[in-house]
Amino acid sequence: MGRIEVVVGRIGKPHGLRGEVTVDVRTDEPERRFVAGATLAAEPPRGSASGLTSLEIVSLRWHQTTLLVRFAEIGDRTAAEGARGTLLLAHLDADETPEDPDEFYDHQLVGLGVVDLEGRAIGTVTGVVHGAQDLLEVEATDGRPTLVPFVAALVPEVDVPGGRVVVADRPGLVAPFEDD
């Protein structure tokens, strides 16, 4: 199979004068993605003149719950300010899976069929939205888009090899309301 890119973080504000930056971690496996010597792809925000395409991690440390990183290409506070908002991406083999069997990469979920608790088809996963609560974007069988909170109470089973996600559907969540 091929390789894919996944977002693992976003550069935040500068920390100090020597180019160290805060990183908003967007991976459940920071210890695998953020290691000294690793190179991450860089995607500067739209309109940025930064020109960064990759960044090599020189050093990193945790300050309480914040990851602080020094990149070889960011040497001072001015460069750190210019890199603010840059997405950090890791290259993965398309068949790579997270170490935790209850975690999934977005690309593993997109395209899976969505079924209810009885096994009836109710849609297809079309994307994953990350935020305070992860959400599955689902296109229902009637073509209607919807968002399903990606929590065990509503998504009790994810079967990647079987090509399906089980959703404990509530009336109107994915399947349309039924008339009584």
Count of CA atoms in the C-beta half-sphere (13 A) of 1: 8
98 is a domain residue: no
Task: State the residue range of the domain holding 78.
Answer: 3-93
122 and 154 belong to one structural domain: yes
pLDDT single digits (tens) 115-129: 999 999 999 999 988
Looking up residue 142, the CATH number of its domain turns out to be 2.30.30.240
pLDDT single digits (tens) 44-81: 888 777 778 999 999 999 999 999 999 999 999 999 99
pLDDT at 95: 76
Long-range CB contact pairs, 150-158, < 8 A, 24+: 156/117, 158/104, 158/109, 158/112
48 and 71 belong to one structural domain: yes
pLDDT at 175: 60
Six token digits for residue 138: 């689902």
Question: What is the pLDDT of the chain when averaged over all its residues?
Answer: 88
Number of domains the chain is built from: 2
- Residues 6 or more apart from 6 whose CB is under 8 A from it? 27, 89, 90, 92, 105, 106, 107
pLDDT at 48: 75
pLDDT at 180: 44
Question: pTM (2 decimals)?
Answer: 0.67
Q: Tell me if 18 sits within 8 A of 25, measured CB to CB.
A: no
* CA–CA distances in Å: residue 166 to residues 71, 79, 117, 148: 42, 47, 6, 11
11 and 88 belong to one structural domain: yes
Cα–Cα distance for residue pair 150/137, rounded to 1 Å: 10
Mean pLDDT, residues 105-114 taken together? 91
64 is a domain residue: yes
pLDDT band at 172 (very low <50, low <70, confident <90, very high): low
Task: Look at residues 44, 65, 93 and tell me which one is the last residue of a structural domain.
Answer: 93
Residue 108 phi, psi dihedral angles, 5° rounding: -75, -25
